[in-house]
Amino acid sequence: MRLGSIKRYSTTFIVYIILAILVLVTSLVSDVFLSFRNFENLSRQVAPLGFVSVGQTFAILTAGIDLSIGSVVSMASCLTTGLILGREPLVFPVIALVIFLALFIGFLNGFIISKTGVHPLIVTLGMMSVVQGGILLYTKSPYGSVPMSFDFLAWGNVWKVPFPILLFAAVAAISIVFLRRTVFGRYVYATGGNEEVARLSGIKTGRVKVIVYMICSFTAALAGLFLASRMGMGDPLVGERYMLDSIIPVLIGGTRLTGGKGGVGGTIAGIFIFTILSNALNLLDVSAYWQWIVEGLVVIVSVSLYFREKS
Amino acid sequence: MNTSFPATYKRIEFLMGQNIVEMRGITKAFPGVLALDKVDFSCTTGEVHAVVGENGAGKSTLMKILAGAYRADEGKIVLKGEEVSFSSPREAQRHGISIIYQDFNLIPELTVAENIFLGREPQKRIGFIDNPTLYEGAKKLLEDLGVHIDLQVRVAELGVAQQQMVEIAKALSLNADIIVMDEPSAVVSGKELESLFRIIRTLKESGKAIVYISHRIDEIFQIADRATVLKDGKLVGTVITSDIDKSTIVRMMVGRSLSETFPERRKGGDKREVLALYSVSRIGALRDVSFKVYSEEILGIAGLVGAGRTELARALFGADPIDSGEIFLNGKKIKKNTPKASISKGIGFVTENRAKDGLIQSLSVRKNITLAILDRIKKWFVVKDGLEKQISKTAVKQFNIIAPSIEQEVRYLSGGNQQKVILAKWININPSLLILDEPTRGIDVGAKSEVYVLMRRLADQGTAIIMISSELPEIIGMSDRILVMHDGQVMGELSPEEATEEEILMLATGQKSGKSGAEV
């Protein structure tokens, strides 16, 4: 019993050790790091990356990937502010519309991938371009506005805890339960582990993929709504960085790019490692370019650690 | 049953040429199986030497050792009078040994000429390919073979027969003295086979040694000077083909050395029709297949590799679509044939290749066992954790699966235990029809007999079982009825009492057509 459990959790275990060391080192070298203000700041930074990385975890678990995630973030942010234009009564209808549109894009991704068999990398890359082009036709520069009440999404507090971190915690928790406990979650792992075996076991792998890409787009819509609230204005290029940034925490978290192994638990640690690292380097006044270099090295080193552990 | 042969068949000194290669006492073990047991083999210049035996006899393993793809555990190889030991195929190639595999080693997107000289391109200056020399060389090689293939064409555009020629040209460009062909007739036939034989004869006249692996008896008499017969990894003997007849070779191929015990059949019972096929066809795989399967019986399907047995199983299960014909399950016509529908109707399918389509290696024993029944153990959308664990633990106990825990990933289990996990998975769906494709391939003797007992118990409880197997003793020992397939067709039906290995092999090689199973 013991042996199996240790093997299973060892990768996640390593990620959390890395995270703990990072927190320890950062709090030693910076006295601001552990302050309440910085915590609040951090938790508002974590949210958008957190949403999309959780979504991306689903796609990668099925041995796929969603590169359209960033463009959906941009789309959600622009449409939200552009359609609401500060009008209070339109808040909820527009949120519903934006989420519906995102789900539709996810559906198209999944449908094309499972019907044609074209690699998800290509399908979602194409979709990224289509969606991004659509937004730029809609607006080429930051646009729109939201009413005060909409600020709550990014700036609100519930018992002094920033609302976005609570929302992220909810999304992460639901995802973990979804993947670990539900039939659908098991199908995700089975499809990514070996699609043919999954199919021969009676699993409709095409449907699994459609749902997975819809989840991806849904988390992208959440991130877009959050960013619209944080900035009060939609930006057609705000999501660009999430195309690749969403993948990094998933990989740091130990989910295999080949599918079937890993999970949201590791991704959460990956998100915090990624965010704390850039927060710490900011606090230490390190140039943004150095941050890129350090982040890149962390990805390569951590992922190669897992591969050593595997063999 | 122990068949003995005149001692003179063994170790005949051949007069035609000098022994170019000799393999002595070659032994090779894989986990759970002794693939080769002290096998001797020799080949002379200007000889075509056939290596024959049933599936799994050790033919390919022996030749892979000669070609440096495997290393022997024991024994030695003497090449042109010198003892050699190859650590890689490349090293064997440098010593003049080339092997041509069934599935070839060509790069589809490169041209014929580029493939022939792959890895040994003539160079002008460092790094720059000397194309004129390359094409000139390739042209000459193909001319010597008397083959006309456009050198500029991509290999992907060639048929298999032509690809085979390219492989032969490649072997010649490596200055091979010994060319091993691994079941070339598995991919070509008819006229193409004739022209292959013509080329083999040309090569032979030029003093090359050709090793021809096959299990088709006719061909051996057409092309080979000598034949070495292997059986269960042991050498049965080496014979001069002109001295013997077909039945002797067949007898050598199938003669039993060790007796295996199979669980006893129960007579009588109340058998009813479970499955009926009428003229099922799938282009390129199945032709007009009709038969019935009854409850409480094991229907064995024999045939050689490529006879369409796995394709039949996949079509039955709905893994591949059929082009025409009808399938009835429990008297009802199957309309929508998908794996999901099949499972819900109680059809289970244990596939041939555990790693590729049998198990999800990255998931635990527990998750593999319940993969096909998750719908039955859920509440709303959530898997009932306790029930799932209980089912897996019961299965582990019942099937005697040896694993440290039900949470162990299946990749760490032995072949026999992996197979038992698959069986547990499918028996858990309570199948009324269970299809088993090579259920005992690559598992050890102990696990084998456990699988046999399990199959018989299931059948006694009423399950209809279709067992595809390439092991003839298993077919005869386990089946209540035997169908023999060849070339996508059912060649005949035999009862285990009347079936002999010779009889099955005759049907399976297409030399004889018995009463057709189509008469249902």
How does pLDDT run across A154-178, given as a tens digit for each residue? 888 888 888 999 999 999 999 999 9
Q: Is B272 on the interface with A (CB under 8 A)?
A: no
Q: Which amino acid is at B340?
A: K
Residue-wise burial string across A48-66, b where 16 or more C-beta atoms lie within 10 A, e elsewhere: bbbbbbbbbbbbbbbbbbb
Measured CA to CA, the distance from residue A73 to residue A140 in angstroms comes to 15
Q: To the nearest whole angstrom, how far is the Cα of A169 from the nearest Cα of chain B?
A: 21
Amino acid at A310: K
Task: For residues B254 and B2, give the distance between their C-alpha atoms in angstroms, rounded to a whole number.
Answer: 10
Summarize pLDDT for A21-45 with one digit per residue, the tens. Answer: 989 988 888 888 888 888 888 888 8
Catalogue the E-assigned strands of B262-381: 273-282, 286-294, 298-303, 324-329, 332-333, 347-350, 378-379
Nearest CA in chain B to A178: B382
For residue B273, the cross-strand partners are: B294
Residues of chain B contacting A175 with CB distance shorter than 8 Å: none
Predicted pLDDT at A51: 96
Q: What's the pLDDT at B31?
A: 65
Whole-angstrom Cα Rg for chain B: 25
Q: What's the CA gap between B381 and B393, in Å, rounded?
A: 22
User: pLDDT value at position B479?
Assistant: 93
Tell me phi and psi for residue B187, to 5 degrees: -110, -20
Quote the crossing angle between the two packed helices A120-138 and A69-84, to the nearest 10°. Answer: 20
β B433-437/B286-294 pair status: unpaired
Average pLDDT over residues A91-116: 95
Measured between CB atoms, which of B362, B378, B382 is closest to A260? Answer: B362
**Number of inter-chain CB pairs under 8 A, A vs B:** 95
Please count the residues of chain A: 311
Residue numbers in B near A183 (CB within 8 A): 374-375, 378, 381-383
From chain B, the residues in CB contact with A205 under 8 A are none
Average pLDDT, integer, range B310-316: 93
Mean pLDDT of B347-363: 87
Question: What sign for the dihedral angle of Cα A162, A167, A172, A176?
Answer: positive
Contact of B376 with chain A, judged by CB distance below 8 Å, is answered with: no
H/E stretch holding B440 reads: none
Token readout for A218 is 């849904």
Which residues on adjacent β-strands are paired with residue B294? B273
Q: How far apart are CA B398 and CA B135, in angstroms?
A: 64
- In 3D, which of B413, B359, B425, B420 has the Cα closest to residue A196? B359
Q: What confidence score (pLDDT) does residue B444 get? A: 66
By the CB < 8 Å criterion, does B360 face chain A?
A: yes
Residues B493-508: b if buried by 16+ CB within 10 A, e if exposed: bbebeebebebbbbbb
Read off the tokens for B280.
Answer: 């099922």
AA identity, residue B191: K
Nearest residue of A to residue B410 by CA position? A4
Taking the Cβ of residue B317 and every Cβ of chain A, the question of whether any pair is shorter than 8 Å is answered with yes
Structure tokens at B192: 């193409």
Reading across the β-sheet that carries B464-468, which strands appear in turn? Answer: B347-350, B433-437, B464-468, B298-303, B481-486, B489-494
Using CB atoms and an 8 Å cut-off, which of residues 201-260 of chain A contact chain B? 201-204, 256, 260
In the block, residue with structure tokens 């850039």: A278
A215 burial (CB, 10 Å; 0-12 / 13-18 / 19+) is buried
CB contact under 8 A, A4 and B409: yes
H/E stretch holding B89 reads: helix B89-94
How close is the nearest chain A Cα to the Cα of B348, in Å?
A: 9
Instruction: State how far the alpha carbon of B53 is from the alpha carbons of A230, A238, B260, B485, in Å.
Output: 74, 67, 19, 18
Name residue B213's beta-bridge partners.
B51, B182
Residues of A in contact with B407 (CB under 8 A): 1, 4-5, 8
| SS3 category, A151 | helix
pLDDT at position B6:
42
Closest residue to B362, CB basis, from A181, A183, A261: A261
pLDDT at B209 over 90: yes
- Minimal Cβ distance to B367: which of A2, A186, A202: A186
**What is the pLDDT, as a whole number, of residue A304?**
81
Q: Is residue A65 a contact partner of residue A222, using CB atoms and an 8 Å limit? A: no
Chosen from A11, A194, A208 to mutate, greatest number of chain B CBs within 10 A = A194
CB-CB contact of A208 with A192 (8 Å): no
Chain B hits for A199, CB-CB cut-off 8 Å, are 319, 339
Tell me which chain B residues have a C-beta less than 8 angstroms from the C-beta of A204: 340
Q: How far is CA A53 from CA A99, A270, A272, in A?
A: 17, 9, 11
pLDDT band for position A6 (cuts 50, 70, 90) = very low
Assess B362–A contact: CB distance below 8 Å, yes or no.
yes
Measured from the Cβ of residue A241, the count of other Cβ atoms closer than 10 Å reads: 13
Give the residue on B whose Cα is nearest the Cα of A1: B405
| Statement: residue B398 has pLDDT above 50 | yes
Q: Which residues of A touch B343 (CB under 8 A)?
A: 201-202
pLDDT of residue B15: 43
Q: Do A260 and B343 touch (CB under 8 A)?
A: no
* Residue in the block written with tokens 């293939």: B149
Contact of A261 with chain B, judged by CB distance below 8 Å, is answered with yes
Res A54: pLDDT: 97
Q: Do B359 and A196 touch (CB under 8 A)?
A: no
Chain A nearest-CA distance from B404, in A, is 6
Residue B153 DSSP class: S
Residue A28: CB atoms within 10 A of its CB come to 9
Inter-chain CB proximity B381 and A186 less than 8 Å: no
Q: Hey, are the CB atoms on A4 and B358 less than 8 Å from each other?
A: no
Bridge pairing between strands B298-303 and B226-231: unpaired
| Cβ-based contacts of A211 with chain B (< 8 Å) | none
Q: Which residue of B has its CA nearest to A258?
A: B362
A 160-199 near B (Cβ less than 8 A): 181-184, 186-187, 189-190, 193-194, 196-199
Q: Structure tokens of B34?
A: 């002794």
**Is pLDDT of B498 > 50?**
yes
Predicted confidence at residue A113, as pLDDT, reads: 96
Q: Which are the contacts of B107, defined by CB distance < 8 A and separation ≥ 6?
A: B114, B115, B118, B155
For residues B132 and A55, the model is more confident at: A55
- B417/B437 Cα distance (integer angstroms): 16
CB contact under 8 A, A4 and B407: yes
What gap in Å lies between CA B428 and CA B99, rounded to an integer?
Answer: 45
Cβ of B360 and A261 within 8 Å? no
Of A198, A183, A112, A202, nearest in space to B337 by CA: A202
Quickly state the pLDDT bin for A3 (edges 50, 70, 90): very low
The model's pLDDT over B71-89, given as tens digits with 9 standing for 90+, comes to 999 999 999 888 998 888 8
Measured distance CA(B439)–CA(B436) in Å, rounded: 6
User: Looking at residue A309, what is its pLDDT?
Assistant: 53
| Identity of the residue in A3, A196, A202 whose CB atom sits nearest the CB atom of B340 | A202
How close B172 comes to chain A (CA, Å)? 40
Closest residue, chain A, to B380 (C-alpha):
A182
User: What's the alpha-carbon Rg for chain A, to the nearest Å?
Assistant: 19
Q: Do B319 and A200 touch (CB under 8 A)?
A: yes
Beta bridge partners of B28: B36
Q: Label the pairing between strands B433-437 and B464-468.
A: parallel
Task: Categorize the per-residue pLDDT at B255 as very low, low, confident or very high, splitting at 50, 70 and 90.
Answer: low
pLDDT score recorded for residue A7: 46
Best of B352, B361, B377, B382 to mutate (most A CBs within 10 Å, chain A): B382
pLDDT digits (tens, 9 = 90+) for A188-221: 999 999 999 999 999 999 999 999 999 999 999 9
